[in-house]
Structure 1
Amino acid sequence: MPFSWLRRFGSANSGRGGRRRRRAQQLAHGEEPPPQEDPQVVSERKQRRVGFGIGSALILIIGGVVAFGYYQEFYKPPRVWAGSVNNVEFDMGDLVERIRVLQGVNRYQGGLVNLSTVPFEYLQNLINAEILRQRSPSLGINISDAQIEDELRRQFVPTAAPGQETDPGQLEREFKDNYSGYLTATGLSDGDFRVIVEEQLAQQALAGVLAQAIEERQQHVEIQWIQLPIDGEILIGDVEQRLVNEDFTRIAQELNSPSQFADLNGYVGWVPKGAFPALDDYIFGNQEDEIEAVSPGSVSEPIFTNEAYYLIKVLAPSEERDLTALMGSKLLRALVDTWQKEALLAGTTQGFVRMNFNSRLYEWVTKQVFVTAPRIERPTPVPELLPGIPNPSIGGS
């Protein structure tokens, strides 16, 4: 053969000529050639192979889409980084678990978690708690296991009536029953609740540190207010227009939101500076920003805050007075909030505090939390977490 190397590619016996020679050789040796397949059968077999290949490809594509959806919806979000304080990090799974803890506490109190605000606020709470935990040594704060245990007993050991004899063994059994019942009712573990108690004790200790700077006698202004919820149907501008012809007290009686700081007439009384930071510029003025205080007998312009809308009427000018227990408590809470905000701002500015939250992650968090949101018909009392100070509402204004 002139080109013997073509044999490597099978060219010598390929094609129709090769097939005819093989048939001739078979006939010469008396062999029957194999029967020829029906072209229609061959065509159908090819179609089945093509169909099988297309079906396999579609199954792989569908499986890939499902796997990607599972990764995006269930695997990836809980592991997405949510925030950090120095080298301590939180992911979205941590945030969901903490909100579920919050749901458990609210379930016991007969309240609901406000999913329109809680996810981001509670991420801030996680960050705030970690900032305080890391700064506690410099503040002289050290929360021990013994303190946590004492606080648990303060909340759950029944109080004997004066003069009543008590059996230590009976009190211990009642403590365990009460505490176990609380954990069962809230769906919390012992570890979850001890973390909550530790954070609250740390915040209480921070309040004790900040309280040392509060003077017993301070400048006060006497005020009355109209307070409207931010999600209400009544517009604060319409109320302002009514005040042109109507009495402030009568409108306050009609419209005011319930508040522990004002009576049914909207009378708040003597307020120290700092107790309501968002109202300070209107009540006391602000020389730095050249804002004058509302004069006695006058009503402020509408004031918009994160908690409510206000119209403030000043009844008497500033004078030095002793702090009342109610206003002292409010001032102390405001100082704690201010400390947390300033610490958070300093951390984000200096780069050791970071947060990661957007609308997609918010939607995922709320979806996960919604499935475990409590449906409560009847509230159950809960002990005060800070002695002498009512528990703040959680997750709502």
Structure 2
Amino acid sequence: MRQRRRAERQNTARPTLKDNVHNRTEERYLQRILIGAALALGLLIIGLLATGWYFNFLKPPEKIVASVNGEDYLLHEVVPYTKIEGFYTSQFNPNIALNTLIKNNTLDQFSQDQGIDIQLNQVENKLITMFEKATGTSDVPSSLSQEGERELENFVNLIGIEVSDYKSWIRGQLLEDAYFDLFLTQASKTADQVFLEWIVAANSISGQNAYERISSGENFNSVATELNVDNIFADKEGVVGWVPKGALLEMDPYLFAIDNQTNSISPPIVTSLGSIVYRITNNSKDREISESMRILLAQNNFQSWMDQITSEIIFTFNDDDIKWVLGQIEREYE
């Protein structure tokens, strides 16, 4: 009897043992699958992090953000110019810095064609005037002294740039000055002109108010004294003076229209300066141009020339690039 019961227990236990072995095998197989999946997921996450690091910290400096006249401009080149211009203007604007970088290189590119040559000693002389402590013209050295070199080094370290970056920026300033002098000498000395008085109002409502008051009989200059916000071109009574065509580009279509009438008051016109009410009080043929108007002509001609030679510029500079540049500066200044 006992033997029979033992045999029954053994027969009953055998299927259970086989099932357990089979279950353990399946569990190990599932464990291997889970471990493999976890490893694959971990590698994927590491890959994504590495890719993100590459595109956020390694790749951006070599990204081309602008191209013009066969020159490519890289993202990392914008950083030192942003720091320099931020130091002088208290505004860290990567867009303006990139434009300055492109302008400086473009002026250098075309300088030989324009007969302009900025020598290394001119850059050196600029540095001398900035970093040497001379007490008079006779004390100005021909090159930076050791103390001057230290002052320059301290300055670039303060901003977080290289000396070569600062010299490049100064060279650009000297080039721009040389180009302006060139365009100033080329600007016309006589031209047909109109005598202009205007009121640059702060907004369209104020401009309409000025127009209605003058049209109702109030004195133009008295209203101008009260409402004119322009303190660049006009005096306190709104008198701009003799203006040639091309000096105030936005106003050319109005000032030099065929049907212009002397002493008539214009309704307000919207410009980048503001809402303008104006009148022309006189005309003159082939009149000598004032120095201030010749400067405006030179500036406008220079900008027109720049627009022409950079007309095929390609910009790929975007918001992410701006954030990257500003992020670099923030990290360095922390």
TM-score by length of 1: 0.64
Question: Larger deviation: 329-338 or 317-326?
Answer: 317-326
Shift of 1:39: 5.0
Question: Closer, same or farther in 2 for the Cα pair 1:212/1:227, shift >3 Å?
Answer: same
Contact 2:85 2:97 in 1 (8 A): no
Contact 2:208 2:268 in 1 (8 A): no
Shift of 1:258: 5.9
Question: Closer, same or farther in 2 for the Cα pair 1:85/1:59, shift >3 Å?
Answer: same
Superimposed CA distance per residue, residues 141-195 of structure 1 (whole angstroms, 9 cap, x where no aligned partner): 1111112212333444556469xx85869x9577556645543554443211211
Distance 1:362 1:224 in 2: 42
Q: Which amino acid aligns with 1:112?
A: Q
Match of residue 338, structure 1, among 289, 292, 304: 304
Matched, 1:140 2:99: no
Matched, 1:237 2:192: no
Structure-2 residue corresponding to 1:91: 74
Distance 2:304 2:232 in 1: 21
Question: Closer, same or farther in 2 for the Cα pair 1:212/1:300, shift >3 Å?
Answer: farther
**Equivalences for 1:113-132 in 2 at 5 Å?**
113=92, 115=93, 119=95, 121-132=96-107
Report SS of the residue matched to 1:47. Answer: helix
Q: Which amino acid aligns with 1:89?
A: D
Match of residue 366, structure 1, among 322, 325, 329: 322
Question: Larger deviation: 199-208 or 241-250?
Answer: 241-250
Structure-2 residue corresponding to 1:351: none
Matched, 1:311 2:276: yes
Matched, 1:246 2:213: yes
Contact 1:103 1:373 in 2 (8 A): no
**Equivalences for 1:291-310 in 2 at 5 Å?**
292-293=259-260, 295-299=262-266, 301-305=268-272, 308-310=273-275
Match of residue 279, structure 1, among 247, 251, 254: 251
Question: Closer, same or farther in 2 for the Cα pair 1:55/1:373, shift >3 Å?
Answer: closer
Question: Closer, same or farther in 2 for the Cα pair 1:156/1:67, shift >3 Å?
Answer: closer
Matched, 1:213 2:181: no
Distance 1:225 1:156 in 2: 44
Contact 1:82 1:91 in 2 (8 A): yes
Q: Which amino acid aligns with 1:73?
A: N
Structure-2 residue corresponding to 1:17: none
Contact 1:225 1:310 in 2 (8 A): no
**Equivalences for 1:1-397 in 2 at 5 Å?**
38-39=21-22, 41-106=24-89, 111-113=90-92, 115=93, 119=95, 121-157=96-132, 160=135, 166=139, 175-176=148-149, 179-180=152-153, 182-227=155-200, 236-247=203-214, 256-257=228-229, 259-285=231-257, 292-293=259-260, 295-299=262-266, 301-305=268-272, 308-319=273-284, 321-345=287-311, 348=312, 354-357=313-316, 361-371=317-327, 372=329
Report SS of the residue matched to 1:141. Answer: coil
Distance 2:278 2:175 in 1: 37
Distance 2:148 2:287 in 1: 43
Larger relative contact order (C-alpha < 8 A, sep ≥ 6)? 1
Shift of 1:226: 4.0
Shift of 1:134: 2.0
Superimposed CA distance per residue, residues 99-147 of structure 1 (whole angstroms, 9 cap, x where no aligned partner): 23322333xxxx323x4xx51x544443333332222212111111112
Distance 2:60 2:140 in 1: 52
Contact 1:81 1:91 in 2 (8 A): yes
Bigger share in helix:
2
Report SS of the residue matched to 2:247. Answer: coil
Contact 1:222 1:316 in 2 (8 A): yes
Report SS of the residue matched to 2:127. Answer: helix
Contact 2:69 2:310 in 1 (8 A): no
Q: Which amino acid aligns with 1:213?
A: Q
Shift of 1:282: 1.9
Report SS of the residue matched to 2:187. Answer: coil
Structure 2, gaps ≥5 residues long: 1-16, 215-219
Contact 2:247 2:296 in 1 (8 A): yes
Structure 1, gaps ≥5 residues long: 1-34, 229-233, 349-353, 375-397
Question: Closer, same or farther in 2 for the Cα pair 1:216/1:87, shift >3 Å?
Answer: closer
Structure-2 residue corresponding to 1:391: none
Contact 2:68 2:310 in 1 (8 A): no
Distance 2:213 2:127 in 1: 52
Question: Larger deviation: 147-156 or 35-44?
Answer: 35-44
Distance 1:187 1:255 in 2: 45
Contact 2:224 2:238 in 1 (8 A): yes
Q: Which amino acid aligns with 2:305?
A: W
Report SS of the residue matched to 2:59. Answer: helix
Question: Closer, same or farther in 2 for the Cα pair 1:250/1:122, shift >3 Å?
Answer: farther
Distance 1:323 1:178 in 2: 44
Shift of 1:343: 1.9
The percentage of aligned residue pairs carrying the same residue is: 23
